Chain A
Amino acid sequence: MNDSMQPNRCEDERLAALLAAVQAEANPAVWARVRTRLTAAGAPAPARSVVGARLDAFLDWLTRPAAMAAAAAALVVALGAGWTVIGSLDTTTATTTTEEALVASDATNLMESLLEPNAAEAADPSIPGSENTGENTAPGDSGGRT
């Protein structure tokens, strides 16, 4: 087994020598770029207004996944609450409208019921003085009926 491994070992050493013969040199421009970036990142930020800084901070916060999830959850809750409120308002409006409608209807019926006998009298020719227009009738006179 050692005999069979010996050529492999020689071959491996030759391979390693060949592999080690190939190298690359570092590009100085890479370090220049890194230095510039680090210096720029470490330099004090230019003065910004308080509103601008707060807006930046808010935008930073807004872009976080957790913030996005929280915002989405808040939107869902707000939509749900809005839907519920709108639903209850619709019901109230309908009730009010119905009540008003009922009141209006009652009032109409009442008026009609008050006016109806006179209308019946006016239409009945057997009732004396029913054709009068009220010119000969004193105020508070019931029309001659006793």
Chain B
Amino acid sequence: MTTRGGALDLRTETELIARLRKQDIEALGEVFRMYGDAMTTLACSLLRDADRADDAVENALLRIHAAAPKFRGEASLRSWVLQITANLCRDELRRRRFDGGRPEDLDPLATRGLSVNPTASWDEALDREKILAQLEAALDRLTDEQREAILLRDRLGLSYEEAATAAGVTADVIKARLFRAREKLRQILGGSERKEERR
């Protein structure tokens, strides 16, 4: 076994996949315990709405249960689970774009069901909530593909290959999207920092 949200060792993963393929509900429960946080983080970050993210995770689990007999284990279980979650979030985003969506939230972290990890070590102790809120606002200005790439790679810590599987593209495409996403984030955050300095 491994830590929550991380990749499983091969034997454990093979056993879990075998149980999933038999549509064992308890095995699905283990998937939720292992990857539920990552699925929820991805859904909250992409959909920017905690309630819709819960719905997406629920539907993803049902789809995992239904599709498990056909899963051959070509990709890692984590990337397959996150791929299903990301696909459902993409569908939801398309629908929302069609129906007009919701107004922008004033508190992007709280209303999206996201919170700052208190165990993370970092040096921006001052105004960290403000910086992270700025970062979330900056993420909103990326394209859906760029946002997905940077969330899979940087927020969830997936490898390039895993992120590519989850996004349904090649690793080169993920690298290109990441490059553009980071460049754009640097520009946006650099611009907002200059504005703060002028004040």
A residues contacting B by CB (< 8 A) are: 8, 11-12, 15-27, 29-31, 33-35, 37-39, 42
Q: Which residue of A lies closest to B153 (CB)?
A: A16
Interface range, B side: 35 or more
Residues A30 and B36 in contact, CB atoms below 8 Å apart: yes
Q: Which residues of chain B are within 8 angstroms of A35 by Cβ–Cβ distance?
A: 25, 29
Of residues B113, B155, B185, which shows the largest number of chain A Cβ atoms within 10 Å of its Cβ? B155
B140 at interface by CB-CB < 8 Å: no
Q: Which residues of chain B are within 8 angstroms of A31 by Cβ–Cβ distance?
A: 29, 32, 36, 61
8 nearest interchain CB pairs? A26-B36, A21-B120, A16-B154, A19-B154, A24-B44, A24-B41, A24-B40, A19-B155
B28, B54, B116, B151: which contacts A38 (Cβ < 8 A)?
B28
B45, B54, B131, B182: which contacts A30 (Cβ < 8 A)?
B54
Q: Which residue of A lies closest to B155 (CB)?
A: A19
Residues A38 and B44 in contact, CB atoms below 8 Å apart: no
Q: Which residues of chain A are within 8 angstroms of B41 by Cβ–Cβ distance?
A: 22-24
A12, A20, A30: which contacts B155 (Cβ < 8 A)?
A20
**CB-defined A-B contacts under 8 Å, sample of 25:** A12-B182, A15-B154, A17-B122, A18-B122, A19-B151, A19-B155, A20-B155, A20-B157, A21-B120, A21-B132, A22-B117, A22-B155, A23-B41, A23-B114, A23-B117, A24-B40, A24-B44, A24-B50, A24-B113, A24-B115, A26-B40, A26-B57, A29-B54, A30-B54, A35-B29
B residues contacting A by CB (< 8 A) are: 25, 28-29, 32, 36-37, 39-41, 43-45, 50, 53-54, 57-58, 61-62, 65, 109, 112-117, 120, 122, 124, 128, 131-132, 135-136, 150-151, 153-155, 157, 182, 185-186, 189
Nearest CB in chain B: distance from A14 CB, A: 8
Residues A18 and B132 in contact, CB atoms below 8 Å apart: yes
Q: Which residue of B lies closest to A38 (CB)?
A: B25
Residues A22 and B114 in contact, CB atoms below 8 Å apart: yes
